[in-house]
Chain A
Amino acid sequence: MATIHLNLISGRSIQQGVAIEGGKEKPAYRTAAGIIELDPSDLKKLGAWKNTNVKVTSDYGSVIVKAIETTQGPHPGLGFIPMGPWANAIINPDTYSTGMPTFKGVPVKVDVAINEPILLGIELVQKLCGVK
């Protein structure tokens, strides 16, 4: 198992859309947005089976998500985490004076983290904010 380096983008998916209307406290939200979609070639380089928990780290933080095989590929070298607290734990908050954070185009590294749990949405944010 190796560390791989990817370019991370985040955005909408229809499953994420359904999940947010169903309630962000629910497991369906984690299933929809607590994931990273990887190209099969990148999964191979990582040396992991699909649906493995991984740790994704950027200069701004790290987060545990489930690595799944992309449904909208191929896109070797690109990782996609649907918009949400998992992606926002690690994307670039710098707005470069435009008011807009850099949600797309963040260099990250991905490591296998089989035994690390993926938190639920609200739980993750509360933990990172130090709120009970």
Chain B
Amino acid sequence: MTKTVTDVICPFCGTLCDDLEVVVSDDGKQLLEVYNACVIGTEKFLHSQSKDRVTRPRLHQDDGTWKEISYDEAVEYSAQMLAKAKKPLMFGWSSTNCEAQSVGNEIAELTRACCDNTAATCHGTSLIAIQDIGLPSCTLGEIKNRADRVIFWGCNPAHAHPRHMSRYSIFPRGFFTSKGQMSRKMVVVDPRVTDTAKMADVHLQIEQGKDYELLNALRVAFKGEWLPDVVAGIPKEKIREVADMMKSGRFGIIFFGMGVTQSLGKNHNIDEAIAVTKDLNEYTKFSIMPMRGHYNVTGSGEVFAWQFGFPYSVDLTRGFARYNPGDTSTIDLLVRGEVDAMFTIGSDPGAHFPISAVQQIAKVPSVCVDPHLTPTTGVSKLHVPVAFNGVEVGGNCYRMDNVPIDCRKVVEPPEGMLTDEQFLIKVRDRVRQLKGVA
């Protein structure tokens, strides 16, 4: 016999779908089927039970092999490493729950570490811009119920947030948008004809890296002032057409992603996009929202902020929190060789950092807490596998619009495996002993 767990939250991306249904065996140990998830979420749930799963910590040996060790030994290694380091870095946090993030913060405070999350390579530049200019935004349900102008700028939800358009932004029939897709005009700005762009009413195939210019041109177009014939590869008539479309809506939203956060201009691109949104509020109602990547990077930012005062790239090395992206941010810390111990959790910098930063991780004592085998576990000294958050343990997470949803436990983790939180609590308690603190 089987049972179906409903209202399951998918722990993959910032869309944080919470309508999944998972069929499990009666004894709660086997995960059989997943409904309503996109193909990535489905893979996450089903793969969690694969036969080749690593279930115990393993220490990298000089000859390239791995030796299995106990969790207690892994705790000792991690605690010693963090307690002894002069400038340890605790990075990641985006694929685990807020309860674990909070324990991690305790450890970081005890060991005077630098701590950072994946916003460092994702929406960190958005945060910098928000700190300069603010953020007019809303929750995703507002889009569903009100939006008649939807702009995707430098993002490709068809690939990165697959159910976003069906749950919130294009297809739903909301309270004031009962015609669903027909209630909305969709604009996509992207240098490629992406699968998202193929659905748009207007696709501005922008010259890559020229987003700042095009955003600025829109602001000029709103005021009806002079424009050059072509900006960022887009003819001025098209720019005016889109500007008018935006102004004529009654509720608009700009969703934006890596196309603008990671290309040159970086935080200035986002600043200009937010300025476009602010300007539009002179004519109609407009909001803007970053398409957050990991399912709980937003949560990590929230927990850092209410406990330390800053959303990422936090430096606790002096015993109080400091923040200065470019100085206290992970890539820069690594590339400058300032870090003497690396603790990675809930992320994969090995795969997603520039290789020159990964090379630094490989040089120092390092621990990687991750249920999977990854390039980070491949270059770390200690790999600690843990239960899958959102599958084998619950815990609070924050969606891309900052809405908190408590993930559910669907199946038991493999015998004897710890969760992130349990492992971190043990590390914290051991660090306290090593530091002579109560």
Contact = CB atoms under 8 A, between A and B. Distances in A.
Of A101, A121, A128, A130, most buried by chain B (CB within 10 Å of CB) is A101
Interface string B181-221: 00000000001111101000000010011000000000000
Contacts of A1: none
Interface string A1-36: 000000101011110011011111100000000000
Contacts of A91: 354
B160 A12 contact: yes
Contact of B356 (A21, A60, A83): A60
Interface size bracket, B side? 35 or more
Contacts of A18: 39-40, 43
Given A105-B208, A125-B378, A14 B354 contact: no
Contacts of A122: 350, 373-375, 377-378
Contacts of B84: none
Given A78-B208, A96-B266, A132-B63, A22 B43 contact: yes
A100 B266 contact: yes
Interface in A76-132: 78, 80, 83-85, 88-89, 91-93, 95-105, 121-122, 124-126, 128-132
Contacts of A44: none
Interface string A57-80: 000110000000011111100101
A125 B325 contact: no
A106 to B, nearest CB: 10
Nearest to A97: B326
Given A78-B208, A95-B331, A130-B362, A70 B262 contact: no
A13 B60 CA distance: 32
Contacts of B421: none
Given A12-B258, A23-B373, A96-B264, 19 more contacts: A17-B159, A18-B39, A18-B43, A21-B12, A23-B47, A75-B193, A78-B192, A84-B352, A95-B326, A98-B267, A103-B258, A104-B259, A105-B208, A105-B209, A105-B263, A122-B375, A124-B375, A129-B359, A129-B379
